[in-house]
Amino acid sequence: MSFVHVRKPFRTHAADGAIASLAIAATLAGGLGLHRLSGVAPSASLFSFAIMLVAWSRGIVPAIFATALTVFVFKYFFLEPIYSLSVRVSDIPQLVFFALAALLVSFLCDSERRAKRALKDAKAKARANEARLAEIQRELQLTIDSIPAMISAYRPDGVHSYVNAVWTDYTGMTLDEVVAAKSAGLFHPDDPERAAWQASLASGEPLMTEAPIRRADGVYQWFSIRRTPLRDDQGRIVRWYSIGFNIEDRKNADNALRDSEARLAAAERQLRQTLDHIPILAWRTKPDGYAEYLNKRWLDYAGFTLEDSLGWQWMTVIHPDDLPGLQSTWTKMLEAKVPGECEARMRRADGAYRWFLFRAEPLRDEVGAVAGWYGTNTDIEDRKQAENALQRNQAYLAEAQKLSSTGSFALNTETGEHFWSEQTYHIMQQPLETRVTTDLVLRCVHPDDRLKMVGELNQALEGGEQWDYEIRLLMPDQSLKYLHVIARRVTYEAGHGEVIGALMDVTEARKSQEALYAAQSALAHAARVATLGEISATIAHEVNQPLAAIVANGQACLRFLDRREPDLGNVRGAVEWIVKDGNRAADVIRRVRGLMTKAHFEKSPVSVNEIIEEVEALLRRQLDARNVLLRFDLKDVPSIVADRTQLQQVVINLVMNAIEAMQDITDRARILVIRSFRQNTGRVAVAFDDSGPGIPDDPEPLFDAFFSTKASGLGMGLSICRSIVEAHGGRLWAMPNPARLGAVFQFELPPEEANERN
């Protein structure tokens, strides 16, 4: 037996010393009292008993201290000389023996005390260990029962000896029930687990298998089962341990995964079939751009096999000039992970290159990461050719517009947006970056023509179909520019429409026209003077008639006044006739003077019917001399805004042309019908129908300058007439007259209200 001294604190030693001192002091007091009362000296056994009590209660150290005190007390109080510390030699053996005996007794008492205390501690520890063991066993049982797995133990022959709560709860069977049933019905009848278990029992090898186990409700679920033997020191199997994990969800997931993989494989096959049959070149790459599939149409076009095209080998079919740009665009798309497109030429199997549009779209997974790329190559060779042709046409058109000073424009009547060609910007003297608006257009127009421009724009917004007008622009340098605008409405299949047109800078032409117009006016004046020579007899006749009437009326006035009682009423009537005839003669002179004067022409509201009647009066003698029957079919038409003298010249020329054209007609009556009427467009028209020899199939050359069908004609009459009519905003043309086998010359002019709107 060994003892381990436990070092006590200082306070404990002090207490032990105090107790030892008190015990010896009490023994001394008792001994002295007994000695005084009975005269008997206290014996050593009394002090030995005190030392034993100290040793038993406080241990060996206090007992040694008590022994030392006892030796001191004996010497001082009971051995001669008393009350002295001097020791006799004869007393030393006695004191030593007492000390040794006391120490021996103290040691024995302390050893006994220690043994009893150790036994007590051992019993307490044993009880604590038993409680702890029971607690550990409960915790172990709870742990095993809490493990989400079926845990069981088997005897060496394979019979169950333990099952945990999970096992019992799942199967609905207790240990006794499963032992009694010998595990019958626990596993699926068709499952080979039983044979594998028997083989493992026979071989002693661990078992790892999967099997369906019946649940308490009769449903079988899959478990992953592991069984391991426990062997003793001699290697004999003393027990088998088994654990089973429910893998039904995993099995279902595996089955679902297999089904999904099967469906995915089928979908992959279907996708490949689809990609192989769509009428476009399609492909698929990995996230880094590595080509892993190209459809059959792509391979057939390039003349490659799939193996020859995988990875980056497909780039060998790209035109060398286009490859760097394609690689750069493809790299940027891969880095940015965004869709994109570019154009490049691809070599066909026969070596020919065609333009293709490359488009790629990333395929992303559930978290948004790029899982691959899908792309298509669309043949745009025809479109490229069309674009090149369009670019050439645009270049030709731009150059043609520049050479002809013609610009094009468009107006979206729904949104009010304007579109100008480059030449239009140049004509309008506006920078190319200028945003075109209606306000900008109106600001460019001359202030006097803005109201007219507003009317044309309103007509476009209200659904007008065609436009043909001239407008003046006021340039920033205050110069004038004349534009001739032609436009029409175009309606697209989608239903919306635009006004598309062209504008031509006719400033130079207008200046040339004004110069030509001045020359034509001079020539027209000469023609009028020459015409007067032919109608001089008519003029004399027209003037003589009012003069003769004036003379006759004057003579009548004199006769009325010579009477004894003048008839003032008749005199007044005669004088009134004199005034009328005088005005009539003045009108004739005025008309002749207007034809002969090279005055500046001014436009004013006039009646075409009045002008026709005036010309009839001037040309009456010519009509009678040539046996031409003149008929009128004059409707009630609105006034027009025109220069009266110029319009008279047009009517005179057309009537004289008709008279001269019918002078050789002998087989039918020479009839000239002058008609005035209003057309459906609202314009005022005047037609001259004759019964002459007719006109050529193409009557347009008749209006060319210096073209004449008469031997002595200048060929300027009809050309001048057309210029005058067009200067008034109208038009003049000729056509056959099937009713009389002759010709019809007709002109039309806008009515006065149309000029007011403009």
Residue 342 C-alpha from the chain's centroid: 19
The tens digit of pLDDT for each residue in 367-423 reads 989 999 999 999 998 888 888 777 776 666 666 666 666 888 888 877 878 888 888
The tens digit of pLDDT for each residue in 260-302 reads 777 777 767 776 777 677 778 889 999 999 999 898 889 999 9
- Which whole number is the average pLDDT over 64-85? 72
The answer to whether 310 and 291 have CB atoms below 8 angstroms apart is: yes
- Which whole number is the average pLDDT over 592-608? 65
Range among 49-58, 428-437, 510-519 with highest mean pLDDT value:
428-437
Specify the DSSP class assigned to residue 449. G
Kindly report whether the peptide bond that precedes residue 81 is cis, defined as omega within 30 degrees of 0. Answer: yes
Task: State the pLDDT at residue 401.
Answer: 65
Secondary structure class of 287 (helix, strand, coil)? coil
Average pLDDT, the chain: 79
Strand 731-737 and strand 684-690: pairing? Answer: unpaired
Q: Is residue 723 very low, low, confident or very high in pLDDT (cuts 50, 70, 90)?
A: confident
Backbone angles phi, psi at 83, to 5 degrees: 55, 35
Dihedral angle at the C-alpha atoms of 472, 473, 479, 480, nearest 10 degrees?
-10
Region of residue 245 (phi > 0: left; psi between -120 and 50: alpha; otherwise: beta):
beta
Q: At residue 187, does pLDDT exceed 50? A: yes
* Tokens describing residue 695: 């006109």
- Burial class, 686, CB count within 10 angstroms (exposed 0-12 / middle 13-18 / buried 19+): buried
Residue located via tokens 């107790």 = 19
Spatial separation of the C-alpha atoms in residues 168 and 164, rounded to whole Å: 6
Q: In Å, what is the CA distance from 612 to each residue of 68, 147, 419, 601, 619?
A: 177, 124, 47, 19, 11
The answer to whether 319 and 345 have CB atoms below 8 angstroms apart is: yes
Largest Cα–Cα separation, the chain: 231
- Which whole number is the average pLDDT over 357-362? 93
Q: Is residue 5 very low, low, confident or very high in pLDDT (cuts 50, 70, 90)?
A: very low
The closest alpha carbon to 227, from 250, 198, 247, belongs to 198
Secondary structure class of 536 (helix, strand, coil)? helix
Strand ranges inside 551-683, DSSP E: 603-606, 629-634, 640-643, 671-678
Q: Is residue 689 very low, low, confident or very high in pLDDT (cuts 50, 70, 90)?
A: very high
Q: At residue 439, does pLDDT exceed 90? A: no
Q: Which residue has the higher pLDDT, 174 or 712?
A: 174
Spatial separation of the C-alpha atoms in residues 685 and 612, rounded to whole Å: 12
The tens digit of pLDDT for each residue in 20-49 reads 677 777 776 766 666 666 655 566 666 777
* Least confident window among 161-165, 340-344, 362-366: 161-165
* Tokens describing residue 270: 């279907």
Strand 684-690 and strand 671-678: pairing? Answer: antiparallel
The answer to whether 579 and 553 have CB atoms below 8 angstroms apart is: no
* Tokens describing residue 91: 């007393």
Task: State the pLDDT at residue 2.
Answer: 44
* Tokens describing residue 96: 């030593």
The tens digit of pLDDT for each residue in 545-573 reads 567 667 767 777 777 777 777 767 777 77
Other Cβ atoms less than 10 A from the Cβ of 303: the count is 13
Residue 617 C-alpha from the chain's centroid: 78
- Burial class, 190, CB count within 10 angstroms (exposed 0-12 / middle 13-18 / buried 19+): exposed
Residue 64 C-alpha from the chain's centroid: 105
The answer to whether 425 and 503 have CB atoms below 8 angstroms apart is: no
Q: In Å, what is the CA distance from 320 to each residue of 303, 323, 347?
A: 18, 5, 10
- Which whole number is the average pLDDT over 43-66? 73
CA atoms within 13 Å, Cβ hemisphere of 553: 19
Task: State the pLDDT at residue 749.
Answer: 93
Q: Is residue 109 very low, low, confident or very high in pLDDT (cuts 50, 70, 90)?
A: confident
- What pTM value is reported for the model? 0.33
Task: State the pLDDT at residue 758.
Answer: 55
Task: State the pLDDT at residue 454.
Answer: 86
Range among 71-75, 181-185, 417-421, 517-521 with highest mean pLDDT value:
417-421
The answer to whether 330 and 289 have CB atoms below 8 angstroms apart is: yes
Task: State the pLDDT at residue 599.
Answer: 46
